[in-house]
A and B are shown apart, each in its own frame.
Chain A
């Protein structure tokens, strides 16, 4: 069974860079037709797609975050990563990593999520 696990600092200072990694187990990260994504959820609010990456490195980013976001993939480690720079309190959220289903556009496997707080 596919499992995804987020890891990274739970506290980031304003203006610094938020960095998270998602480790995939129980399945391949290199399957064609799948994308690996980051979705965030501010406390008490809804879901927001941050961005997606394929195992070949093709990316899609939320236009509202595009100037600050970089998503990368390391297939040898079965990991993909998120970097969000120049963070503010508005970036405080639970960050989920997830798999976008093959040849479709739905997230069929999710990590448990990790809370990142932006505060000095």
Chain B
């Protein structure tokens, strides 16, 4: 099962905006609107930040937004803050027997 493709790291200064990409195939990202994004701080469980491409669960800052075009989904963090420094994972429905596939993860560095 091939993981979705994410950049290893993305960095930005406080107050800036950054975008993390997540590339898949027609069997997952481009075929269905079931892309989600998770934030994970060291030693902690992942936290859902975006579901169904662009929906923000209750309690998630509106500085986080999701989008999808073709086989690439993206997560944008605007007004970058020190607390946003973490690993971010995308995930998608997949037609394989796994039902769910994750990206390899992106480390966000706040300069």
Contacts and interface: CB of A to CB of B under 8 A. Distances in A.
Interface of A: 35, 37, 39, 46-49, 51-52, 60-64, 66, 96, 100-101, 104-108, 110-113
Nearest to A96: B45
A106 B45 contact: no
B86 to A, nearest CB: 13
A62 B1 CA distance: 7
Given A105-B34, A106-B36, A60 B48 contact: no
Interface string B1-27: 101000000000000000000000000
B1 A64 contact: yes
B46 A46 contact: no
Interface string B75-110: 000000000000001011100111111111100000
29 contacts: A46-B89, A46-B103, A46-B104, A47-B38, A47-B89, A47-B91, A47-B105, A48-B102, A49-B102, A52-B100, A60-B97, A60-B100, A61-B97, A62-B1, A62-B97, A63-B96, A63-B97, A63-B98, A64-B1, A96-B45, A96-B46, A104-B34, A104-B52, A105-B99, A106-B52, A106-B91, A107-B36, A107-B48, A107-B91
